[in-house]
Structure 1
Amino acid sequence: MKEWETKVRARLSTILEKRNVMIIKIELETLATELQWRVQMRAHYPRAIPENRNKLAEELRKADAVVLTYACDDPVTLDRLSTFWLPELRRLEVKVPVIVVGCKLDLRDDQQPVSLEQVMSPIMQQFREIETCIECSALNLIQVPEVFYYAQKAVLHPTGPLFDQETQTLKPRCVRALKRIFILCDHDRDGALSDAELNDFQVKCFNAPLQPSEIVGVKRVVQEKLPEGVNSRGLTLTGFLFLHALFIEKGRLETTWTVLRKFGYNNDLKLRDDLLPVPIKRNPDQSVELTNEAVEFLRGIFCLFDIDGDAALRSLELDDLFSTAPESPWGEAPYKDAAPKTALDGLSLDGFLSLWALMTLLDPARSLANLIYIGYTGDPASAIRVTRKRRIDRKKQQSERNAFQCFIFGPKNAGKSAILHSFIGRPFSEIYTSTTNECFAVNVIDPLGGSKKTLVLREIPEGGVRNLLSNKESLAACDIAVFVYDSSDESSWKRATELLVDVASHGEASGFEVPCLIVAAKDDLDPYPTAIQDSTRVSHDMGIEAPIPVSMKLGDYNSIYRRIVTAAEHPHLSIPETEAGRNRKHYHQLVNRSLMFVSVGAAVALVGLAAYRVYASRKNTST
């Protein structure tokens, strides 16, 4: 304390030395506020001074539950919970259950009975993190064991993930998990749990069968409260969910948690890591794809959830499909609006499979997890395959991949976004909007004389190119790069060629060289004067195709998407060569040639030495 007082005196002396009265006033007021805060902190919690606050926060982060106490005979201590401690826990972002305990129950005035529910209800309404409230007396050993029981229960069987106290309903993620469990237990897929299925469920979760009278009793309770919870085939999903809500309302959270944990769910209501596939090992230039077995499963799922039979999944049908996953995986970027939609804003089969291919390419673990959530029961290893290295593809002059990722580079207002929008069937827009974040578009391409391929277009904003190329392996995931420029703007062409050289140089230096194409966008406009000469010179110097003219506005795509896939299928072609790359290659050739000459010379010398030794040996023998 003396050290802190010394600091205050020194600070006060510094303030008073200043000549500006207004500055002195402001700094004195600031110091007074800090002193007042410190006094309050010491009143609430003597050790919660600044030098110990970090230690307090560190210890609280280790906690599985927090027990806050107040004195039953001192109302001021109860006020401090809501005015200091509970807000402080929120400020420190402590995300664990809180148990509020009224101590010294033996000292409370019995002449003025107080209802615990009446006292705590307003506080619990304000602070939903409070799991339980209880009173006890350590002196008389009243309800002391119960304090620790409820603290332990709050950790093992928390209410928060399952139930919304305000609406008195199951939380969405809890409903999704229980729905998946219901479907897994509905072996005959008739939408209800028969008596036999209910009994199997009971044995699996609680290791004890249900007696016929108990099954009748369960269904009677549900039917009395919720008639649609039971039908002629058994307990419906609605009834199943109602039962669990009833268990929770009656404080029997352990029942629902036992069911969830038996089916592999953790406290976040996601499947435990040990039930999901291990991280997929692969080299930077290898990608992950769904196998034919997984694709056939997804085709079946698509047909199953296409309730109206219009060959498309609309929003409600797609929500229903993912209703057994913790959340829909395609609600946000990069998946949202990345695939083509039908005229009625539905997702076609090709669009559906394209999004799965995109998710498998970008996040294989998430893709596999969602396959399991929606009902894939096969070995996860049978659902995916790791492609061979792109370096091997180049050597074999053929790629065996089914999904290609294309990076789209280009300056601002070159027409990159228009190419992505046209790819997934969006109408052309005259309104220009600058792209600041990476965007994706994915669709199925049917190349001439080959099987269908999935093409992923990934737009790289001009401002993000430097950051992308700062990573040595950034081009490892790229199967082909496309450079777009405005064919009517010479400055756009120059910037596109600069980007081409940057990317080609990065590929040569990192060993992850990629095929490249140049696209002359806005072909409906007049080209700038020297466009043909410039494009011919650059394409000739770098050894790649001449720019491909397109006009998204007129719908003249010039088979650009098919040409991208064809170039990606033959990764040894269309690889640009920079001057630095040629010099490097020439240098290596000279070194190799020199080494060859040295090796030949050394070999000749060795042969000559051996011949001389033989000659000398024979001469000595004859002598």
Structure 2
Amino acid sequence: MLSGGPISGARTSVRIVVVGDRGTGKSSLIAAAAAETFRPDVPPLLPPTRLPADFYPENTPIVIIDTSSSLENRGRLAEELKRADAVVLTYACDQPATLNRLSSFWLHELRRLEIRAPVIVAGCKLDRRDAEYNLSVEMLPLMQQFREIETCIECSAANMLQVQEVFYFAQKAVLHPTAPLFDQETQALKPRCVRALKRIFILCDHDMDGALNDEELNEFQVKCFNAPLQPAEIVGVKRVVQEKLHEGVNEFGLTLTGFLFLHALFIEKGRIETTWTVLRKFGYNDELKLRDDYLSIPNKKAPDQSVELTSEAIEFLKGIFSTFDDDKDEVLRESELEDLFSTAPESPWDEVPYRDAVERTPWRGLSLSGFLSEWALMTSLDPAQSIANLIYVGHNCNAESALNITRRRTVDRKKQHTERNVFQCLVFGPKRAGKSALLMSLLGKPFSENYIPTIGEQYVVNIVDQYKGNKKTLILREIPEDGVQKLLSDKESLAASDVAVFVYDSSSEHSLKAAIELLSNVARQGEETGVGMPCLLIAAKNDLDSNSTVNKDSAKICLDMRMDAPIPVSVKERDLNDVFSRIVNAAERPHLSIPETDLSRSRKRYRQIVSNTFMCLSVGAAATFIGLAAYRAYAARKNSSS
């Protein structure tokens, strides 16, 4: 772990833009670097200059863009800066005013333009400076104020002093950026870097004793740098760590604390490429997430297919749950869940839509069913993220062993059954109909009188017990009334779901009317796109005074549309009428409960007419054929008798 050739990732080139005041030596610096010699006759503005891949050890070509600092070229300058991978900001060592302009204008201008590229400050014309100058002392306040500055260096094109180093540092800042790994203020590794290195440490700790022994250290060195460590080098590494950090080495070898300390030391010593080489060997990109090519994402699926975890992956997750359930109380508390995901970039369930998708209580935590439900939801919504997090928590898997792409729902409809274990249900309904209360009841949460309108879509997920101990996972996705139009604007929006329910307040005629209008719009789109899905009406708030008109109208509508009768529920009184099991039953029989619209009825009549016409034509043709055959037989007998 002491040396090795750097790995620059998948980047094919680095674009460096050189900016600064007029006369600071931008063009001379570029020309000297490219020609590897000083050129006294450099034009005021150079065309794009290319340094070949073998110019620096990283084997990545560089394109250097010269710029003009004149006012009339400010628009072009801004365009070039926004395309830059790195910025070299120049000042003239013999002109103190140009140095002051870095903080008074240029660095603020980069921020105004929202340039995120790393900045290398280059002092040119070093050969012309007379006075003594301590670069590190003078530049420290500037670097503390502007954290985007990666390096400060002074050079001389005339004397060919540190010219090529300027662009080497710029390339290095792009290929091996400091910002994702190290916090300059605290002088410590950043949390996401610690998480990635912890995962790598665990993968290399084959005997799982919490330390890397000499053999494991050597295997790690060969994997990352293609060169073994000599015994004396291993001793030297451990001695350096132990002198600075006693707990970094124990009787078994280099501990995780020592492993992290070593990488922090490399970065402090300017050898950040060593840590990046390790990270990239283990599949990480510049954001310290696993690269897509490392994840083996499944092939594209049809819109009406879904993705589920395989039984192998589910068994692995059950084992992980048990491993991290330290107190064996059959729930994962926040600390245990954080420990489980401590080798992932962050806990994937801290943000929407996962944060509130399952029931979690401060004193109980997350149950096994809630844990598996979260994974089912993540796999359904974002298979790539699911695969990545499976790998982060220790599953040595590929997409084929962890993910299952289900059969198309159009095929399920023809076969009149489905093999899916996870169902997604769209929940529609007008405001105050009781949609959110229905979602919360799936999680077993108590009813609340407080009305909080849903802003944006909301997901909940839980396991539903079916007949004979059969268990299915149900995902409810609430669509706010004002979000329906946006959803239906996408012609494939319904294809990903298995069933839809339409919730209305059973005491309100207006609520029923609004729900039926939503039902008609969804059914019409399903008919037009050929992805018609089972639909159910849910008569919510059944504890309120019954409205006979609503009851009659809803029953008639269901009869006309050939749907099941509305399901009455009262979340307040916990009288749910087995609604979630009935939703799953409808999803399991995708050929039933599909509402008939005027369009579908007219198409059905047309198909019947065509079928009847074809039948009549077939019968007529058969009769004609039989008549013709009989006539020919008669004619043949008559001719023979004569």
Do the aligned partners of 2:219 and 2:228 also contact (CA within 8 Å) in 1? yes
| Equivalent runs, 1:152-231 vs 2, <5 Å | 152-231=171-250
Offset, 1:341:
2.4
Do the aligned partners of 2:298 and 2:399 also contact (CA within 8 Å) in 1? no
Letter in 1 for 2:477: R
Do the aligned partners of 2:313 and 2:401 also contact (CA within 8 Å) in 1? yes
Offset, 1:262:
1.6
Do the aligned partners of 2:68 and 2:77 also contact (CA within 8 Å) in 1? no
Do the aligned partners of 2:295 and 2:398 also contact (CA within 8 Å) in 1? no
Question: In structure 2, do the counterparts of structure 1 residues 547 and 213 end up closer, same or farther at CA, with 3 Å as the change threshold?
Answer: same
Offset, 1:594:
2.7
Do the aligned partners of 2:306 and 2:496 also contact (CA within 8 Å) in 1? yes
Give me the whole-angstrom Cα distance separating, in 1, the residues matched to 2:640 and 2:338: 97
Calculate percent identity across the aligned residue pairs: 68
Counterpart check, 1:506 vs 2:534: no
Letter in 1 for 2:585: T
Per the alignment, residue 112 of structure 2 pairs with 91
Question: In structure 2, do the counterparts of structure 1 residues 73 and 187 end up closer, same or farther at CA, with 3 Å as the change threshold?
Answer: same
| Equivalent runs, 1:211-360 vs 2, <5 Å | 211-342=230-361, 344-360=363-379
Give TM-score, length-normalised by structure 2.
Answer: 0.85
Per the alignment, residue 74 of structure 1 pairs with 95
Question: In structure 2, do the counterparts of structure 1 residues 549 and 430 end up closer, same or farther at CA, with 3 Å as the change threshold?
Answer: same
Give me the whole-angstrom Cα distance separating, in 1, the residues matched to 2:622 and 2:77: 76
Offset, 1:487:
1.3
Q: Give the helix-richer structure, 1 or 2.
A: 1
Question: In structure 2, do the counterparts of structure 1 residues 421 and 554 end up closer, same or farther at CA, with 3 Å as the change threshold?
Answer: same
Q: What are the ranges of 5 or more consecutive residues in structure 2 without an aligned counterpart?
A: 1-66
Per the alignment, in what secondary structure is the counterpart of residue 573 of structure 1? coil
Question: In structure 2, do the counterparts of structure 1 residues 257 and 622 end up closer, same or farther at CA, with 3 Å as the change threshold?
Answer: farther
Per the alignment, residue 81 of structure 2 pairs with 60
Counterpart check, 1:546 vs 2:565: yes
Q: Which moved more, 1:194-203 or 1:610-619?
A: 610-619
Counterpart check, 1:594 vs 2:589: no
Give me the whole-angstrom Cα distance separating, in 1, the residues matched to 2:560 and 2:337: 50
Give TM-score, length-normalised by structure 1.
Answer: 0.87
List per-residue Cα deviations over 1:592-615 (Å, max 9, x = no partner): 333444455567667878999999
List per-residue Cα deviations over 1:74-131 (Å, max 9, x = no partner): 1111122222222222233322221111011111123xx2211222112111211111
Question: In structure 2, do the counterparts of structure 1 residues 383 and 64 end up closer, same or farther at CA, with 3 Å as the change threshold?
Answer: same
Per the alignment, residue 483 of structure 1 pairs with 502
Per the alignment, residue 406 of structure 1 pairs with 425
Do the aligned partners of 2:507 and 2:545 also contact (CA within 8 Å) in 1? yes
Per the alignment, in what secondary structure is the counterpart of residue 414 of structure 1? coil
Counterpart check, 1:523 vs 2:542: yes
Offset, 1:48:
4.5
Counterpart check, 1:466 vs 2:472: no
Offset, 1:339:
0.9
Offset, 1:314:
1.5
| Equivalent runs, 1:423-442 vs 2, <5 Å | 423-442=442-461
Question: In structure 2, do the counterparts of structure 1 residues 620 and 148 end up closer, same or farther at CA, with 3 Å as the change threshold?
Answer: farther
Give me the whole-angstrom Cα distance separating, in 1, the residues matched to 2:284 and 2:275: 11
Letter in 2 for 1:445: V
Give me the whole-angstrom Cα distance separating, in 2, the residues matched to 1:48 and 1:177: 46
List per-residue Cα deviations over 1:29-49 (Å, max 9, x = no partner): xxxxxxxxxxxxxxx954453
Offset, 1:404:
0.5
Letter in 1 for 2:531: F
Give me the whole-angstrom Cα distance separating, in 2, the residues matched to 1:310 and 1:149: 56
Offset, 1:164:
0.8
Q: Which moved more, 1:291-300 or 1:525-534?
A: 525-534
Q: Which moved more, 1:335-344 or 1:491-500?
A: 335-344
Give me the whole-angstrom Cα distance separating, in 1, the residues matched to 2:403 and 2:613: 47
Give me the whole-angstrom Cα distance separating, in 1, the residues matched to 2:447 and 2:255: 48
Q: Which of residues 143, 149, 152 is equivalent to 1:133? A: 152
Per the alignment, residue 106 of structure 1 pairs with 127
Do the aligned partners of 2:298 and 2:400 also contact (CA within 8 Å) in 1? no
Do the aligned partners of 1:398 and 1:570 also contact (CA within 8 Å) in 2? yes
Give me the whole-angstrom Cα distance separating, in 2, the residues matched to 1:465 and 1:471: 11
Counterpart check, 1:560 vs 2:579: yes
Per the alignment, in what secondary structure is the counterpart of residue 466 of structure 1? helix
Do the aligned partners of 2:344 and 2:392 also contact (CA within 8 Å) in 1? yes
Per the alignment, residue 38 of structure 1 pairs with none
List per-residue Cα deviations over 1:6-65 (Å, max 9, x = no partner): xxxxxxxxxxxxxxxxxxxxxxxxxxxxxxxxxxxxxx954453xx54533332343322
Q: Which moved more, 1:284-293 or 1:267-276?
A: 267-276
Per the alignment, in what secondary structure is the counterpart of residue 468 of structure 1? helix
Give me the whole-angstrom Cα distance separating, in 2, the residues matched to 1:580 and 1:148: 67
Give me the whole-angstrom Cα distance separating, in 2, the residues matched to 1:462 and 1:375: 42
Question: In structure 2, do the counterparts of structure 1 residues 200 and 365 end up closer, same or farther at CA, with 3 Å as the change threshold?
Answer: same
Letter in 1 for 2:333: R
Aligned length: 576
Letter in 2 for 1:546: A
Offset, 1:203:
1.6
Q: What are the ranges of 5 or more consecutive residues in structure 1 without an aligned counterpart?
A: 1-43
Per the alignment, in what secondary structure is the counterpart of residue 449 of structure 1? helix
Q: Which of residues 376, 382, 390 is equivalent to 1:371? A: 390
Do the aligned partners of 2:151 and 2:169 also contact (CA within 8 Å) in 1? yes
Give me the whole-angstrom Cα distance separating, in 2, the residues matched to 1:584 and 1:78: 78
Do the aligned partners of 1:398 and 1:571 also contact (CA within 8 Å) in 2? yes
Q: Which of residues 381, 387, 402 is equivalent to 1:362? A: 381
Do the aligned partners of 1:302 and 1:349 also contact (CA within 8 Å) in 2? yes
Do the aligned partners of 1:341 and 1:425 also contact (CA within 8 Å) in 2? no
Question: In structure 2, do the counterparts of structure 1 residues 473 and 599 end up closer, same or farther at CA, with 3 Å as the change threshold?
Answer: farther
Do the aligned partners of 2:297 and 2:399 also contact (CA within 8 Å) in 1? no
Per the alignment, residue 61 of structure 2 pairs with none
Per the alignment, in what secondary structure is the counterpart of residue 485 of structure 1? strand
Letter in 2 for 1:299: K
Do the aligned partners of 1:82 and 1:123 also contact (CA within 8 Å) in 2? yes
